[in-house]
Structure 1
Amino acid sequence: MVDAFKGPWRLVDSQNFDEYKKAVGIVIRPTIAISQVYKKTIYIKLGKEFDEITADGREVKSTVTLEGDSLVHVQRWDGKETKIVREIKDDKMINTLTFEGVQVVCKYAKE
């Protein structure tokens, strides 16, 4: 199932992303690439916590798990937590991000 997530993805639609970015304190418009050949120095083992520097420069402790057909990515920093659930639907990657009651849904198309 993880293979379905591989490849570069471009943001094509989002709902409530501005509220999420404001709550977290970030300003980004992400492009995502998921690969088993790592071009960035983030090595993920499912279920194993790792150090991550986010696109906006936050240093977080992250854990990624496979739950059913979804990749669930939890980031923790300074007593805060955000959860990103990634799933594939109709050839789109749907990311649902939740932080302190603010939820955003972003749709990505494979490039």
Structure 2
Amino acid sequence: MVEQFVGTWKMVSSENFEELLKEIGVGFAIRQMASRTKPSLTVTVDQGTICLKMLSSFKTTEVKFRLNQPFNETTPDGRDTTNIVSLENGKLLQIQSWDSKETTIEREIVDGKLVTKCKMGNVVAVRTYQREA
């Protein structure tokens, strides 16, 4: 089921992302840069290991993980997080924890687009990606 996410995706819209970064505690300058970039996301799967590679003019990051197995990640804004990703009802659900805080990142395919919902507290950001040819 993870195979539906495989490919290269270009961000086409972003809603409420700066508010989410503010809720997380990201500083003004980084929020400004991060909310103005339109990254591309490449998703690959190799023998059960999923790789998410995010490329932007702000920063390039790559994270590799296996479903339902905890892993550590340093986020683009410098947070050291503990994560776990599961596949639930066709959605990749990522729980990200640091300093007694938690965010949820939910990725799903809707009408051929990759829709990512990032949630912290009552703040929800939605970033939508179109598959590149």
Instruction: Give TM-score, length-normalised by structure 1.
Output: 0.89
Determine the C-alpha separation between the residues in 2 that align with 1:5 and 1:72.
13
Which has a greater percent of helix?
2
1:53 aligns with 2:62: no
In terms of mean alpha carbon deviation, does 34-43 or 52-61 score higher? 34-43
Aligned length: 111
Alpha-carbon distance in structure 1 between the residues aligned to 2:102 and 2:41: 20
Larger radius of gyration: 2
Q: Find the partner of 2:86 among 56, 62, 65.
A: 65
1:7 counterpart residue number: 7
Cα separation, 1, equivalents of 2:111 and 2:62: 30
Matched residue, 1:104: 125
Q: Encode CA deviations 1:14-41: one digit per residue, 9 max, x unaligned.
A: 2211211221215323432211255776
Letter in 2 for 1:73: Q
Q: Distance in 2 between matches of 1:9 and 1:109?
A: 5
Q: Does 1:33 align with 2:42?
A: yes
Q: Structure 1: which 5+ residue stretches go unaligned? A: none
For residues 126 and 62 of structure 2, the distance between their equivalents in structure 1, rounded to whole angstroms, comes to 27
**How is 1:70-81 mapped onto 2 (pairs within 5 angstroms)?**
70-81=91-102
Deviating beyond 6 angstroms after TM superposition, the runs of 4 or more aligned structure 1 residues are none
RMSD between aligned residues = 1.8
With over 3 angstroms needed to count, the CA separation of the structure-2 counterparts of 1:18 and 1:42, relative to structure 1, is closer
| Letter aligned with residue 91 of structure 2 | S
Q: Taking every aligned residue pair, what percent have the same amino acid on both sides?
A: 37
Q: Which has the higher contact order (CA 8 A, sep 6+)?
A: 1
TM normalised by structure 2 equals 0.75
Gaps of 5+ in 2: 54-60
